[in-house]
Structure 1
């Protein structure tokens, strides 16, 4: 028995491979970190730990063996970084390549190329609100109109769309009229302009019912004259004096947008009235009625109109209705001498309707021109459309 005990006690401890030991250390450290309470190591763990301590003291373990888990953590972070760059880097590289081929995809002009993206004058910044009479005509605009971009090559590309271009001034009390009454007069004037020049029903030859409802029936002959213009147009009774109308059998409107530019003001008039002054340019993009035609042109109508809110205690007027005291118009790129109540756009491919223009050459986009005293009988030519 003594020999057996001595023989057994002198038997060498089994050797443990390094990879097994490293897995053990990792598992042990992980268990210690995740454990809710400290646990006493098992006999096997104590034995292995003591063996490693002795090997380390004798210099039998490689340098840095204790730092293995930390290196693997670093490897994991590197792998995560590589994965993140793979996720972000590929789309980023594609985006850089795309912008390099087409810089116009970036907002604005960060590279100073001055590019507008082909004929895309529509991409130009909208004009700020017109708050005073302009002093010069707008500069030229590059581009050629198409069915998709009917306002390309026109200053109107930067105009507001439709009724959004009719911005009302802030109302205030004038004379005996309160702020609310003045505000109502401004809104009625806008409604008149919209119905007369922007409403699709009116543009296609319909009756502008809103205008007829706004006008004061007590104003001598005004309302009856307008109804006569619409019912039986001729040279003396021309609805184009107030309304923009197209013959749908001759042309078609391109899209739903009419470009609008102008301003509205108000002031105290004679005898305590309120006079609203409106000066607006409307630009219409049209094509021949033939659905297969791709030809595009534009008609420009500038209208200057003064409406009045009269004092019902001093005049025989209808409270809440407007008087029209003055109106002028400048209609460009439409046939002269044709009095059928419609605008007749001039297409390059069509024979010119009416007499040959003999008047002065004008720029229909020049809002610095005074048209209030223009000769409506003069048939001139336009420098651009």
Structure 2
């Protein structure tokens, strides 16, 4: 990794000699106070491990006009991932329900119209933080014809149509055009990372990587390492939704999406964008030997903070995003597998993974709760 301080100031950067000692000292004190306030008081063992490794990689502390560094992201509880597996109890409940309602058998062999997706009215776009989880829906079993049956996501938007950008406006001296660019670049990141079929099948998220600033220390290198050689500390699932095509394949072409995106003036004199979205992926086994068409769903929620920083004040690439935070919360994926793929569990399938769920049961559709506070392997109340 190159030494950021060895780079010579470009002609559009103000000379550091124009900053008085008093202003410099105040900047350092304010920055240190902000980082202390935002850092978790008791980081997890995994966060401490990553922090120590990254400290070893960074030869010098964050400098003036260099923009946010990777270790600051780690201190702000970035790159947190919580997985929520499915336990065997829902299977017993499903068997009892099917006994009373045969139409819920996958494939609907009796010709019933139960669980018809087209009957649902789409919800209006989310504009504020929800105050409660979605209401319970009829426990219909998903099928290839109706992969979102029995899910609150049935009424959510389809794919990229669910990522609705707010109307861009100027932020003081920051023109409307820069705000629009920050929003569009963040949307491009979200769409490619979570909705591109090639990326979902394990391909390279080229469009998502292309909007990130190569001058942000360590970010692109770490992401590319995670894609090339996934591991516990270099996990592409932190930012990208990926399934092993030898394991599962999409149950149809639709991924349901719900969330919101906002903007404000950023810490680095640019446009800060906050995105909070949940993606629902219906899948089937890639090669079921028994001819089964059983459908299950994995639910992934992502909270991402980006900033289009001011290139006249910071050593950044114009038009590229600085990635400040990314948290992930995955529901219905095996625990303890670090191969860079989500591993959905089917109701009729035995548990997989090396780590048994020990955390609490949560509703993966509940967008009113915070994520990224701690790491855990728990269970989901519904899929």
TM-score relative to the length of structure 1: 0.68
Q: Which of 208, 230, 233 pairs up with 1:233?
A: 230
Partner of 1:132: 128
Partner of 2:287: 290
- Aligned-residue offset at 1:336: 0.8
TM-score relative to the length of structure 2: 0.68
Residues 65-84 of structure 1 aligned to structure 2 (within 5 Å): none
Assess if the C-alpha contact under 8 Å between 1:122 and 1:158 holds in 2.
no
Residues 178-189 of structure 1 aligned to structure 2 (within 5 Å): 178-189=175-186
Residue by residue over 1:108-144, the C-alpha shift from the partner in whole angstroms, topping out at 9 and shown as x without a partner, is xxxxxxxx96222541110011000000000111122
Residue by residue over 1:17-70, the C-alpha shift from the partner in whole angstroms, topping out at 9 and shown as x without a partner, is xxxxxxxxxxxxxxxxxxxxxxxxxxxxxxxxxxxxxxxxxxxxxxxxxxxxxx
Partner of 1:277: 274
Q: Which of 240, 243, 254 pairs up with 1:243?
A: 240
Assess if the C-alpha contact under 8 Å between 1:175 and 1:272 holds in 2.
no
Q: Within the alignment, does 1:219 sit opposite 2:216 as a pair?
A: yes
Higher relative contact order (CA 8 A, sep 6+): 2
Q: Which has the larger radius of gyration?
A: 1
Partner of 1:372: 372
**RMSD of aligned C-alpha atoms?**
1.3
Q: Which runs of 5+ in 1 are unaligned?
A: 1-115
Assess if the C-alpha contact under 8 Å between 1:189 and 1:307 holds in 2.
yes
Partner of 2:350: 351
Assess if the C-alpha contact under 8 Å between 1:166 and 1:263 holds in 2.
yes
Structure 1 segments (4+ residues) deviating >4 Å: none
Q: Which of 146, 150, 160 pairs up with 1:149?
A: 146
Assess if the C-alpha contact under 8 Å between 2:130 and 2:367 holds in 1.
yes
Whichever structure has more helix as a proportion of its residues is: 1
Partner of 1:3: none
Q: Which runs of 5+ in 2 are unaligned?
A: 1-111
- In the alignment, the residues of structure 1 paired with residue 113 and residue 125 of structure 2 have an alpha-carbon distance, to the nearest angstrom, of 25
Q: Which of 248, 255, 258 pairs up with 1:258?
A: 255
Q: Within the alignment, does 1:163 sit opposite 2:157 as a pair?
A: no
- In the alignment, the residues of structure 1 paired with residue 130 and residue 276 of structure 2 have an alpha-carbon distance, to the nearest angstrom, of 12
Residue by residue over 1:143-162, the C-alpha shift from the partner in whole angstroms, topping out at 9 and shown as x without a partner, is 22111000000000001000
Partner-residue secondary structure (3-state), 1:280: strand
- In the alignment, the residues of structure 2 paired with residue 121 and residue 321 of structure 1 have an alpha-carbon distance, to the nearest angstrom, of 39
- In the alignment, the residues of structure 1 paired with residue 174 and residue 216 of structure 2 have an alpha-carbon distance, to the nearest angstrom, of 20
- Aligned-residue offset at 1:187: 0.6
- In the alignment, the residues of structure 2 paired with residue 310 and residue 260 of structure 1 have an alpha-carbon distance, to the nearest angstrom, of 28
Which stretch shifts more, 120-129 or 164-173? 120-129
Assess if the C-alpha contact under 8 Å between 1:252 and 1:288 holds in 2.
yes
1:202–1:127: structure 2 CA closer, same or farther, 3 Å change rule?
same
- In the alignment, the residues of structure 2 paired with residue 372 and residue 170 of structure 1 have an alpha-carbon distance, to the nearest angstrom, of 28
Q: Which of 110, 119, 125 pairs up with 2:115?
A: 119
Partner-residue secondary structure (3-state), 2:165: coil
- In the alignment, the residues of structure 2 paired with residue 297 and residue 290 of structure 1 have an alpha-carbon distance, to the nearest angstrom, of 15
In the alignment of these two chains, the number of paired residues is 268
Partner of 2:320: 321
